[in-house]
Amino acid sequence: MGGLVDDARSRVDAGPAIAELSALLETRLSTAQAVREHHGKDLTYHAGAAPDAVAFPNSTEEVAAIVRICASHKTPIVPYGTGTSLEGHIAALHGGVCIDLGGMNAVLDVNGEDMDCRVQAGVTRKALNDYLRDSGLFFPIDPGADASLGGMAATRASGTNAVRYGTMRENVLGLTVVTADGRVIRTGGRARKSSAGYDLTRLFVGSEGTLGVITELQLRLYGIPEAITAAVCSFDNLEGAVNTVIAVIQSGIPVARIELLDEVQMEAINRYSGLDYPVLPTLFFEFHGTEAGAREQAERAGELAQEFGGGDFRWAAQQEDRNRLWQARHDAYHACKAMRPGSEAWATDVCVPISRLADCIVETRRDIDESNLIAPIVGHVGDGNFHLVYLVDPEDRDELKRAEAHNERMVMRALAMGGTCTGEHGIGYGKIDFLQAEQGEAVSLMRSIKTALDPDNIMNPGKILRV
């Protein structure tokens, strides 16, 4: 677990492409083992696979030239952002060339009046927000990791405040994409809405590099709210917490974040971050608005929490307090790992209609305990999306099998409840069979599209679909 596989039988000979790419890129093509291995493994438990070479282009035109060379030799291509994906997205299962877009990190244009911007794919979300700092604008999508915006689009990322601002699906206005045969196309545009033809932007968002390489993005921005306030509230049981969430959403309170941490996760962050929250199912809230508006939202949410057995709201109106609160939430992953030193963390997620969320989490928690696993649960519960992190001993094959079996049962439970096998992590190669279980015959259409746009199957082969 967690290592690199190198199955020579499944690899294409990348030699001829590498020779041409070397001439094009010179020192910006690497075949050093450490570089290759670094680029073949994401933050997943799934085994990685090193590419044969890593290219570091500087421009869309250079990406197009790289793709044309690879296409002429039918050499696989794996686009790479920051390597923070979670389902084996960047494993070079058939070898080939990794295209690291990290050097394409320029913010190209910010339009304050239109509240949009254009960035190269390698710009990370934090770099963009640093750049925007004095503009009064921000880009809200926050998957936790400081991922590249190209990678976030490719995996349809979201995170804690998707309940208010949407996911990458809603916030990408247009893309520049290098197609599998090395053409450069632009999808979408700067208009806020359009009925002009097929929605290629949304097709590439979430396509995980299997249809083309995203090199530039036009993104929506938002005004930094006048007031931000946050609060924490504990519940005696999970149902009370989830019913509070349902009531908040139904009553139209435009909550910016609403996160659920179960008692196991709360214990983990208390220990890791030196906090003293009750070890109970807990909601973290954040409200954005005018001073009066944010206050009203918070009061209403507090009233609803009381109705469903919540304790007092612990407020964090000051930025410093809020940062501490959200840092604790963001540290959940590290806090988990610290619970069991030497363990590997394997993150997975599902998403269900919110009416089924309490059932799904309660059954999943019982199943964790019965399976003798350690796996804290955190959730972007306003969307019905929750994660768990299996803390497993990489040497314990039996434990790993129990985790895999649990993951499968959890996904199937979510599907039976009308949900999806992944709310925000994506398919990679870890959830291909679950995609088939979820989407059924629709997968055949995905395969037709893949084959039409990438007939030689060179774009991140083995991800999302088996062709």
> Footprint of a second copy on residues 271-290 (CB under 8 A)?
289-290
Given 198, 276, 341, 398, the residue binding a second copy (CB under 8 A):
198
Minimum gap (Å) between residue 244 Cβ and a second copy: 13
Given 27, 134, 196, 320, the residue binding a second copy (CB under 8 A):
196
Query: Is 246 or 269 the residue whose CB approaches a second copy more closely?
Result: 246
DSSP-assigned letters across all residues of 196-244: SSS-HHHHHTT-TTSSEEEEEEEEE-EEPPSEEEEEEEEBSSHHHHHHH
Scanning residues 37 to 66, which ones bind a second copy (CB under 8 A)? none
Mask of contacts with a second copy, 98-117, x by CB under 8 A?
A: -------------xxxxxx-
Cα separation, 399 vs 340, in Å, equals 14
Q: Which stretch binds a second copy (CB under 8 A): 41-49, 119-127, 204-212, 315-323?
A: 204-212
φ, ψ of residue 66 to 5 degrees: the values are -60, -45
Scanning residues 381 to 400, which ones bind a second copy (CB under 8 A)? 383-385
Residue 385: CB partners within 8 Å, gap ≥ 6? 158, 162, 349, 350, 351, 379, 423, 424
**Cα-Cα end-to-end distance for the chain:** 25
Query: Is 9 or 193 the residue whose CB approaches a second copy more closely?
Result: 193
Scanning residues 446 to 465, which ones bind a second copy (CB under 8 A)? 446, 448-453, 464-465
Minimum gap (Å) between residue 450 Cβ and a second copy: 8
Query: Is 277 or 285 the residue whose CB approaches a second copy more closely?
Result: 285
Best CA proximity match to 153, nearest among 108, 91, 101, 106: 101
Query: Is 3 or 189 the residue whose CB approaches a second copy more closely?
Result: 189
- The region, left, alpha or beta by phi > 0 then psi within -120 to 50, assigned to residue 253 is beta
Query: Is 227 or 338 the residue whose CB approaches a second copy more closely?
Result: 227
**Which residue matches tokens 């291909």?**
432
Minimum gap (Å) between residue 313 Cβ and a second copy: 19
Q: Binding of a second copy at residue 199 (CB under 8 A)?
A: yes
Minimum gap (Å) between residue 184 Cβ and a second copy: 7
Minimum gap (Å) between residue 188 Cβ and a second copy: 9
H-helix or E-strand spanning residue 377:
strand 377-380
Q: Binding of a second copy at residue 244 (CB under 8 A)?
A: no
Q: Binding of a second copy at residue 412 (CB under 8 A)?
A: no
Tallying the residues shown for the chain, one arrives at 467
Best CA proximity match to 419, nearest among 384, 443, 446, 445: 384
Q: Which two tokens stand for residue 364?
A: 């999943």
Q: Binding of a second copy at residue 148 (CB under 8 A)?
A: no
Cα separation, 95 vs 14, in Å, equals 8
Query: Is 402 or 450 the residue whose CB approaches a second copy more closely?
Result: 450
Q: Binding of a second copy at residue 68 (CB under 8 A)?
A: no
Sign of the CA dihedral 456, 458, 460, 463?
positive
Q: Give 268's strand partners.
A: none
Minimum gap (Å) between residue 431 Cβ and a second copy: 7
Given 365, 406, 413, 425, the residue binding a second copy (CB under 8 A):
425
Query: Is 129 or 158 the residue whose CB approaches a second copy more closely?
Result: 158
Q: Are 333 and 347 in contact (CB under 8 A)?
A: yes
